[in-house]
Copies of this chain bind each other. A is one copy, B any other.
Amino acid sequence: MPGVTIAEAADHVGLTADTLRYYEKDGLLLRPVPRDASGHRQYGEPDLRWIRLVTCLRATGMPIRDVRRYAALVRAGEGNEEERLALLHAHREEVLRRLAEVTAHLGAIDHKIGIYEHRLEELDRSA
């Protein structure tokens, strides 16, 4: 048994079967997922590993089209490592930028929360 079904794969990586088919059709995977005799997909460990990396990229906000570009680079084989690295670096910078932005805005919200808490305390005391 060299692979798992799409339902099992979905379960392992935390996506739905529909999403896995969509990713494959959209060129996000390194190869067409192998099939068994009746045409059902059989995900091997390498497929799952790659999909887990894809979910890391997606979960950090990389757009589908960039994942596709990255997959294309890996698919093209050795020799473009600089390009892959540049893509990952650019993404990393973008993620850090967004983390900083969210953190800053969260600070403002925390401030607001503090104000409400203070106000409610006052009400409590005066009650």
A residues sitting closer than 8 Å to B (CB atoms) are: 53, 55-57, 59-61, 81-82, 84-85, 88-89, 91-92, 95-96, 98-99, 101-103, 105-106, 108-110, 112-113, 116-117, 119-120, 123
Shortest distance from the beta carbon of A39 to any chain B beta carbon, whole Å: 33
A62, closest chain B residue (CB) = B109
Residue of chain B at shortest CB distance from A123: B81
**Chain B residues in 8 Å Cβ range of A119:** 81
Flag if A60 contacts B99 (CB, 8 Å): no
With A59-B101, A101-B59 known as contacts, the answer to whether A106 contacts B92 (CB < 8 A) is yes
Q: Is the CB of A106 within 8 A of B60?
A: yes
